[in-house]
Amino acid sequence: MASGAHSHHHSTTIDSPAIEPDEDRRDFLILATSAVGAVGVAGAAWPFIRSWSPSADVLSQATTEVDVSAIAEGQMITVPWQGKPVFVLHRSPQQIKSAQEGDKASLPSPQTDGERVIKPEWLVVLAICTHLGCVPQAIGTGEFGGFLCPCHGSHYDTSGRIRKGPAPANLTVPAYMFKDEKTLVIGKAKE
Ligand code: FES
């Protein structure tokens, strides 16, 4: 077991009294905080995360709306959807190229990048490792420039596909759609 897999447990700084003692959600909130810090978009992403009150109402909501206009190219935020963390990555041209080149690789779980995205610029995947459910590290980690799950060393590419390690499947793409140019709706497919 790699060290640091759960290191975010030690840096709890959540100050909201509304937080319930729910392990998954605490993991998510802290991950969101550290992921945002890591990519330096605190100014852009904090208002959203701060304003999200983890009430039962929110948890049971079928959809999550995200204003993606503040996410710069190459940056990623983590948002809650039905109590699960979701990575929303604004892919750079290099990240898109890398994902498309991966189509030709020998993939453990074959799927083209085109099958996994609606717009090439946006990758939307559940931040839940398909091995045993850890939250993978933020974009730019692992051997394929995507997401490393340090729990047992699963490497995902910039399309969220498993490329190396014990995870049996690609990161799950939830149903989603773009309501308009800047509004991503997770949990709902386009009619
Ligand atoms: S949970 Fe085992 S590698 Fe991710």
CA 15 from chain centre, in angstroms, equals 23
Express each pLDDT in 79-95 by its tens digit: 999 999 999 999 999 99
Instruction: Give backbone dihedrals phi and psi of 88, rounded to 5 degrees, phi first.
Output: -120, 110
First to last CA, the chain: 44
Measured in angstroms, how far is the CA atom of residue 166 from the centroid of ligand 1?
A: 7
Q: Give the residue, out of 27, 126, 134, 171, with the most ligand 1 atoms within 8 A of its beta carbon, to mutate for a pocket test.
A: 134
Amino acid letter for position 10: H
**What's the Cα-to-Cα distance from 181 to each of 69, 121, 122, 166, 185, rounded to whole Å?**
8, 12, 12, 37, 11
How far is Cα 8 from Cα 150, in angstroms, rounded to an integer?
Answer: 13
The model's pTM: 0.71
Tokens at 160, concatenated: 């969220």
Adjacent-strand bridge partners of 178 = 184
Residue 134 CB less than 6 A away from ligand 1: yes
Q: Is the CB of 165 under 6 A from ligand 1?
A: yes
10-residue mean pLDDT series, the chain (191 residues): 43 45 50 43 44 52 92 96 96 98 97 98 98 97 98 98 98 97 93 73
In this structure, which residue's CA is closest to atom 1 in ligand 1? 132
Looking at residue 47, what is its pLDDT?
44
Distance CA 32, CA 14 (A): 11
Instruction: Please report the domains of the chain, with CATH numbers, ordered by start residue.
Output: 7-186 (2.102.10.10)
Q: Determine contact, residues 165/108, Cβ cutoff 8 Å.
A: no
Q: Which atom of ligand 1 is nearest to the CA of 134?
A: 1
pLDDT digits (tens, 9 = 90+) for 94-111: 999 999 999 999 999 999
Ligand 1: nearest atom to the Cα of 149: 4
Does the beta carbon of 152 sit less than 6 angstroms from any atom of ligand 1? yes
CA of 149 to the centre of ligand 1 (A): 6
Question: What is the per-residue pLDDT for 100?
Answer: 98
Centroid of ligand 1 to alpha carbon of 147 (angstroms): 11
* The 183-186 sheet, strands edge to edge: 64-67, 183-186, 176-180
